[in-house]
Every structure is written in structure tokens, then in C-alpha cells.
Amino acid sequence: MLFRTKFFLAYAALTAVAISTALLLIVSTQRNDANHLRSSLAHESLSGYFQLSASVFRTFKQARRDLISGDGSFAFDFGQAAQDITVSLNQIDATLRREAALAANAPNLATLADLTLLRHQITAALTEIDSAAQMIRRGEIAAGREKAVAVLQGQVDVKIATLIQAATTAQRAELGQAQSEIRRMQSFAQATAWAAMLIAIFLSAAIFLTLLRRLQIGLRALDMGAKAIANNDLAYQITLPGRDEFSAVAQSFTTMAQQIQVKQDALEAAKQELEQRVAERTAALTAALAELRESDTLRRQFFADIGHELRTPVSAIRGEAEVALRSKSARPAAQAAALRTIVSITEELTTTVSDLFLIAREMAGVLDFRAEQVNLAHAVALGVEQMQSLSLQREASIAVDLGQGEILIHGDRGRLAQLVRILIGNALEHAPGSVAIKVAVARQDGQALLSVCDDGPGIAEQDWPRIFERFVKGSERRQTGRTGTGLGLAIARSITAAHGGTIAVQRSTAGGAKLLACFPLIEEPAAR
């Protein structure tokens, strides 16, 4: 048997003794409390009957003196006498009902019935005595006294006195029985406590001696084995019969020498595992290097695209300038047209350079941003207004839903308008021909929402995870060979993040793309 099992059984035995003793003491205490209450109620009932007896016989003694032996005058008050007796009867009734509720049995119910009969007899006697007094007052003295004598001798001295005496005897018996039960339960509790103490002492001693003997044998054998193995006697075997923890430890000491070889094998396996981990780490580094090379390729492609984007407008500006300067005889209208073209191309070039400058500042962590309380609907309306002329040129339509009321956030009004321009420009850039664009502002779950939807071809789902990264273009742009830096959505993400928000791409209900930006709302002060 395991050593811990022995401990558990010993603990369980002592616990069982303690719990059993505690339950017996609790039960005896509860019964003793009930018996104390029972004794108290019996004593209270007995006192009530004594008080009732004194009130009844005092009242009827006064009636006997005034009605039978007196001169016809009446010194006692029937109403007050009846009230005093009724109070005593009610007190006894309440006490007897508490006794009946404490231990519902036939004797208690019979006692209540006797009290009801006693109340009836006393009430009837008072009524008869009052009737006799009325007869005496009317002058029927002989008849009144005869009736009073009959009531006092027949009903009061016999029936009422007998009932009171019987009730008093019953309550004395109940009181004696309760006190006897109290003494019996006290003796039982004392005997239980002594028995539990003796059993606990016997069990503790037996358990202690048994465990101590096994402990001494086991420790002695383990000590000898440890000393032998410490002296490099690996062939030493510890023999300890039994199936407890000491036997298991002895077996562990015996097999320790063989485990040395097992540990060496384990070290060799750990070496191989380490080599495998190194190989895996090398593969992971190779993959990271490939990803870095891909990023570098994207970066070079980006700079190539930037060079193309910058070279084309610069070449166009140079060509237009040469056209304007080629001949002194050029007409002013042609020169003006060339200058307008130069201005238009310069504006596009300025936009590209501004995007590059913004990305550079965002990468350096110095993006200029002015935080103030902004109504998102006003900033969106400004951005839409700035894109109306371009949408007309592309034969596109822009519908705007600015929601209800103010939608306040902390932010930069100009940057928010720029975000709207970027999202609308992205829809115009990716949609062939005319496109219907819907810009909406709303509030939901404590956030301000800005959505730009279109009915164009949308963005391929495989591009969604990386569409907001720098230097990344959508697969459809790579396939169609469309020009552009691919910085628009990266800038949109930077602006959104600077406002503490997030931006994501979804599929619009019209089948195109839906770009959704979420910003934290300014908490409105609670209404007073």
C-alpha cells in the first residue's frame, strides 16, 4: 500500500471520528435547546395558569361576598374582572400554541382543547353571575342569591376548579419531562465527548506507531544505498519490500547507474535535435531573406515607377516649353496653350512629389498633424467638393450621405479631406469608363465611419491583405500595365492611423470596392 494512501486512510479515520462526534454533539445541542425552550414554555404556561387561578377565584370570591353575604350593594366590576381573566387566558393560549408548534402531538392539541373548554366555562360563569346581580338589583334578592349560589358552588367550585387543577398538573408534568430530557441529553453529550476523545487517542497512537516503524525501515535502507552509490558502487541494489513510495525510491536508486547511459543517449538525441533546429532556423532565415529580397525588388520597382512617373511629366514640360520657344513668330494663343499644359503637368508632378514627401515623413515618424475637434461630415464634404471637377472629366458621379447631426472626432480637417480625395481618386483610377461612387458618413458603436463605395471591378481578394502597404500595387494594375506610384492607399492608411483609426477593404453591394475607415468619436458630456 502506498505511503500516501496510508496517510489518507489515517486522516479519513480521524476525520470520520471528528465529524461523527461533531454531528452527535450538534444534534444533542439542538435537542437540548429545544428542550430548554420546551421547559421555558411549560414554566410560562404554569405561571399563566397560576395567575388565571388567582384572578378567577379572586373575582368569584368577591362575587360570593357581595351577592350572597352582602347587603345588596356591589363593590366589584364585572367588566374589569372579565377583562383581567381574558388577558390571562390569551397569554396561556399563546404559550400553548408555541408549545404545539414546537412539538405537534396529541397531548398539546388536547391541552388547547381543554383551554378552550375552560374559557367557555369561565365566560358562562361570569354571564350567570352578572345575570344574578341584575336580578338582585331589580329586587329579586332571594332568586338572585339562589342563582349565584348555584353558579358558584356547581360551576366555579367544581368544573372550573377541576379544569384549572388538571391543566396545572399537566404543565407540571410537561415541565418535569422537559427538565429530565435536558439532563439526559447533557449526560449523552458528555459521554459522546469522552468516547470520541478516547477513540481519537487510540487511533492516533496506532497510526503514529505504524507509520513511524515503516519510516525508520525505509530511511535506513535509503541511507545505506545513497552512501554506497556515493562511493561509486553503482552495482549496489537497495532491497526494500513493499509497494509504497519508499520502495519506489529504492528502485530508483538501484537503476540510477543504468540511467547514466540513458542520459548519454539522451544527450546525443538532444544534439541531433539541436542540429535539426539549426537547420529549421536556417530555412526560416532563408525564407526571411527571400521576403527581404522581394521587398527590395518591390522597392526597386517602386523607384523605377517613380522615375517613370517623374520623367514623363518632366519630358512633357520640356516639350511644351520648346514648342513655346521654338519660334518668335509663335502666336500668343499657342504659347498660352503650352503654358496651360505645363501648369497642368506641373500640378500632377506636384501631387506625386507631395505623396512621396508625405510617405517619407510618415516613415520618419514626423508626419505633420494638427489635432483639433473636427466635424467629420464637413471634412468629407470638402474632400468631395475638391474631387467634383475630376469626376466630371471622368464622366463619373459622386453621391454623398453625410448622416444626421454632427459627428465629432479629434483630427486634422485638411488631412481628412485629403483622405477622401485619395479614396475617391482610387475609385476613379481603377474603374474603366464612368463609375458611380457613393461617399457616406455615419456613427456606429462609439465610432465614426467613413465609407467610399463604387460599382467598378473592385479589388481582387488576394490583394486585400497587402493593398495598404507601401510599394504594393494591385494585381489588376500589374496585369493591365497602368502607371502610378501605388502610394495612394498607403497614404490613406497613414492618415487614418494618425487619427487613431483603422481602414479596411470590403466588397461593396454594387459589386465594386468598398473602403471603410473607422475613427473614435469624441465622447459627449453626460446630460445633467
Nearest to 235 by CA among 260, 204, 212: 260
Q: What is the pLDDT of residues 129-167, one digit of tens each?
A: 777 777 877 777 777 777 777 777 777 777 777 777 777
Cell 366555562: give the residue: 121
Go through the domains of the chain in sequence order and give each one's CATH number: 3-206 (1.20.120.30), 369-520 (3.30.565.10)
Answer with the residue of higher pLDDT: 106 or 312. 312
Q: What local confidence, expressed as pLDDT, does residue 58 receive? A: 72
pLDDT at 186 over 80: no
Rounded CA-CA distance 93/48 in Å is 9
Cell of 208: 503514529
Query: Can you tell me the mean pLDDT for 172-180?
Result: 77
Model's pTM, two decimal places?
0.41
Q: Residue 193: how many CB atoms within 10 A of its CB?
A: 14
Q: What is the pLDDT of residues 296-333, one digit of tens each?
A: 766 665 666 566 556 656 666 666 676 666 655 556 77
End-to-end, the C-alpha distance of the chain in Å comes to 74
Cα–chain center distance at 187: 51
Q: What is the pLDDT of residues 119-139, one digit of tens each?
A: 787 777 777 777 777 787 777
Nearest to 225 by CA among 209, 210, 204, 240: 240
